[in-house]
């Protein structure tokens, strides 16, 4: 029997915690989360906290992810941080989060270049895709998922598709949005089937079966178990609940206790 796929539990702290607060919070998590072969816990603090946390973490227990970066490796780009400057500190990089797409007007072209830059620098991109409330209302969910996938993966070769994680985050389910509501397991299942179908068309069947697909949007310690039990969902990308140690640790425990790892 092949061993079950790894589960990824990712904490996106967004623009919260000073470096000092992030370090204290990490201390609390360190005491409560033990390393696991099956569950990879990844923390995505803001850029200023990446360097100090990279010195503090035990990499068998936690990995770090960048929330954002610029796709060029160096040059005259005032205020930007390149992925080549970050790669000593992080193993993963979030790309295409809806807050980057819609608050900072990041284009599909920027996103494709960021995915390519992460791979070029040996980091695993976590490509976020997901439809808006309006797109869902207009019956355009499948089209939105397809276009974000095909554009985001535009510069990825067949050899490199195995280095990518996809996170399905419907914009209407993210807790910071007005009228946010959690997605139903059936919606998430439909989306992961679609994602795998498109990956299969673009990169082949093996890639579609092996690519990790995560869910994000208003996940908390009560709902995590239900989402994780969807066949084809390989983990969670968590915003609000990742800022509360009790909630985040409970979600990690739920992931570790999943039936497939018994």
Nearest to 4 by CA among 162, 209, 226, 214: 209
| Binding window for ligand 13P (CB under 6 A); candidates: 47-55, 74-82, 113-121, 170-178 | 170-178
- Smallest gap from Cβ 6 to ligand 13P, in A, equals 19
- Smallest gap from Cβ 116 to ligand 13P, in A, equals 21
Active site residue 262: no
3-state SS, residue 242:
helix
- Smallest gap from Cβ 57 to ligand 13P, in A, equals 20
* Ramachandran area for residue 92 (φ above 0: left; ψ -120 to 50: alpha; else beta): beta
Site membership for ligand 13P, residue 183 (CB under 6 A): no
For 198, residues 6+ apart whose C-beta sits below 8 A from its C-beta are 145, 146, 149, 150
- Smallest gap from Cβ 10 to ligand 13P, in A, equals 8
Q: How many CB atoms lie within 10 A of CB 103?
A: 10
Q: Which two tokens stand for residue 237?
A: 């990308």
Q: How many residues bind ligand 13P (CB under 6 A)?
A: 15
The residue number with the shortest CB distance to ligand 13P is: 239
Judged by CB, which is closer to ligand 13P: 152, or 239?
A: 239
Q: Which residues are registered as beta bridge partners of 43? A: 11, 64
What residues between 10 and 29 interact with ligand 13P by CB under 6 A?
12
Task: Give CA–CA dist 257/34, Å, rounded.
Answer: 13
| Binding window for ligand 13P (CB under 6 A); candidates: 15-23, 153-161, 198-206, 233-241 | 233-241
Task: Give CA–CA dist 153/259, Å, rounded.
Answer: 32
Q: Which two tokens stand for residue 188?
A: 């998430």
Task: Give CA–CA dist 173/219, Å, rounded.
Answer: 9
Strands (E), the chain: 7-12, 39-44, 63-66, 92-95, 124-129, 165-168, 213-216, 235-238
| Binding window for ligand 13P (CB under 6 A); candidates: 20-28, 68-76, 236-244, 247-255 | 236-244
Task: Give CA–CA dist 68/71, Å, rounded.
Answer: 10
Judged by CB, which is closer to ligand 13P: 15, or 76?
A: 15
Nearest to 254 by CA among 232, 226, 214: 226
User: Quick one: which H or E segment has residue 134?
Assistant: helix 133-137
Q: Among residues 239, 248, 254, 255, which is the contact residue for ligand 13P, using CB under 6 A?
A: 239
What φ, ψ does residue 56 adopt, rounded to 5°?
A: -85, -35
Judged by CB, which is closer to ligand 13P: 216, or 235?
A: 216
Site membership for ligand 13P, residue 240 (CB under 6 A): yes
What residues between 44 and 103 interact with ligand 13P by CB under 6 A?
97
- List the catalytic residue out of 106, 131, 135, 169: 169
Judged by CB, which is closer to ligand 13P: 160, or 185?
A: 185
Q: Among residues 46, 84, 175, 200, which is the contact residue for ligand 13P, using CB under 6 A?
A: 175
Q: Among residues 26, 43, 238, 252, which is the contact residue for ligand 13P, using CB under 6 A?
A: 238
Q: Kindly list the catalytic residues.
A: 97, 169
Residues that bind ligand 13P (CB under 6 A): 12, 97, 169, 174-176, 216-219, 237-241
């Amino acid at each position: 029997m092949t061993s079950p796929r790894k589960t990824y539990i990712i904490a996106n702290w967004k623009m919260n915690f000073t470096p000092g607060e992030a370090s204290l919070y990490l201390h609390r998590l360190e005491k409560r989360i033990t390393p696991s072969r099956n569950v990879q816990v990844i923390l995505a603090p803001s850029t200023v906290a990446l360097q100090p946390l990279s010195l503090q973490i035990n990499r068998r227990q936690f990995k770090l992810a960048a929330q954002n970066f610029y796709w060029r490796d160096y040059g005259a780009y005032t205020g930007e941080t390149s992925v080549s400057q970050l790669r000593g500190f992080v193993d993963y990089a979030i790309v295409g989060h809806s807050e980057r797409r819609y608050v900072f007007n990041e284009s599909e072209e920027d996103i494709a270049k960021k995915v390519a830059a992460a791979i070029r620098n040996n980091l695993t991109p976590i490509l976020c895709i997901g439809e808006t409330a309006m797109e869902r209302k207009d019956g355009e969910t499948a089209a939105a998922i397809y276009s974000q996938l095909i554009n985001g993966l535009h510069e990825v070769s067949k050899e490199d598709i195995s280095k990518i994680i996809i996170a399905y985050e419907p914009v209407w389910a993210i807790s910071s949005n007005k009228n946010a509501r959690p997605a139903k397991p059936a919606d998430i299942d439909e989306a992961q089937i679609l994602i795998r179908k498109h990956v299969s068309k673009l990169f082949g069947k093996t890639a579609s079966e092996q690519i990790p697909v995560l869910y994000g949007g208003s996940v908390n310690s009560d709902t995590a178990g239900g989402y994780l039990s969807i066949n084809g969902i390989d983990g969670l990308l968590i915003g609000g609940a990742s800022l509360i140690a009790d909630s985040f640790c409970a979600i990690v425990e739920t992931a570790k206790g999943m039936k497939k790892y018994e």
